[in-house]
Structure formats: structure tokens, C-alpha cells
Structure 1
């Protein structure tokens, strides 16, 4: 029996949400989504550490670049949190 639809850590065509329907055995696309989530969260963590070290005395142009990357990392983390939250809600309703 399939689990709840999962939003993978990437967008579908034209930036629209896409969903992955899988079972609890974890097929290849599900494993790719897990690996991608892990990489995105690790990169976000590294970016936060870099930002903390960079912020004092940083030129405005560097701050803009940093803000753009932090925004991307936050978007990825929120997509992952939303997807995992939906899956947890589905498990609690069983």
C-alpha cells in the first residue's frame, strides 16, 4: 500500500510542486529524494556557519549574495519540513 504522497526536495516543471507516490520500501526515486534532502540540509548548515563568520564588516555586495544563498537554503529546508510534516501526519492517521 502506498504511503502519503511525498513532495520531493526539487520542483516540478515551471517551478510547480511535484509529488512522489511510493511505498514504505523506498524505491530509487525515494532514495534519491532522501539523499538530496540530506545534501540540502548539510549545505544549509554550512551556509549558516559561513554567514556567522562573514557578517561582521562585510561589504554590501557580499551581503546580498549571502542573503540570496540563505534564502535558497531556507526555501529548501522549508520544503523538506513541509514534506516530512505531511508524511508524519499521514502516519499518525493510520
Structure 2
């Protein structure tokens, strides 16, 4: 009988409606893993776009406080996404190094 080590849970790049983390138990090659990879890529792309927008807005002396607050709120959301992605990827790297 072959005994395989259990595959660690993957932290997904989205939370539950209550804001709690969501995890996936998989070997990393299934359709939901691919969806998670696509979502991560989109989230990272949007965060990069926001950084460019922030640079433009901060260089604009006509930027209003409402515009800056809105940008800051979106950047906070993007940072939350990026931190979740980093945590998930870091955990998977550690699991590969241990395995």
C-alpha cells in the first residue's frame, strides 16, 4: 500500500461572504486551482494598475481629497488581495521545500 503525505490546503485568493479565508484541498492541478491562479493574476494586475493610477493622481495638483480617499480605499483592498496571495504562495513554497 502506497502512503502519500496529505496535500496541504491552499489559501484561495478570495474570502467568504463573511470575510473569512477560503481553502482548497487539491493536488494543485484541478479546475478550481486554475481558477484561483487566474484570479490571482487578475488581482496582481489590478494592483499594478492602481499603483500607476496613484502615481498619476499624486502628481496632479488638482486631485481632490475625495479622489485620494477613493484611491486609498481601492489600494487597501488591493493590498489585502496581494497579502493573501503572498501568504498562499509562501505557504506552498514551504510545503514544496519540506516535501
TM-score (norm 1): 0.93
Q: Which runs of 5+ in 1 are unaligned?
A: none
TM-score (norm 2): 0.88
SS of aligned partner of 1:22: coil
Partner of 1:22: 26
Partner of 1:89: 94
Distance 2:8 2:72 in 1: 34
Distance 2:27 2:81 in 1: 23
The alignment of Structure 1 onto Structure 2 pairs a total of residues equal to 93
Q: Which runs of 5+ in 2 are unaligned?
A: none
Runs of 4+ in 1 over 6 A off after TM superposition: none
Q: Which structure shows the higher strand fraction?
A: 2
Q: Which has the higher contact order (CA 8 A, sep 6+)?
A: 1
Alignment of 1:63 onto 2:65: no
Using the TM superposition, give the Cα deviation of residue 30 of structure 1 relative to its aligned residue in structure 2, in angstroms.
0.4
Which region of structure 1 is more displaced relative to structure 2, 73-82 or 15-24?
A: 15-24
Distance 1:51 1:82 in 2: 25
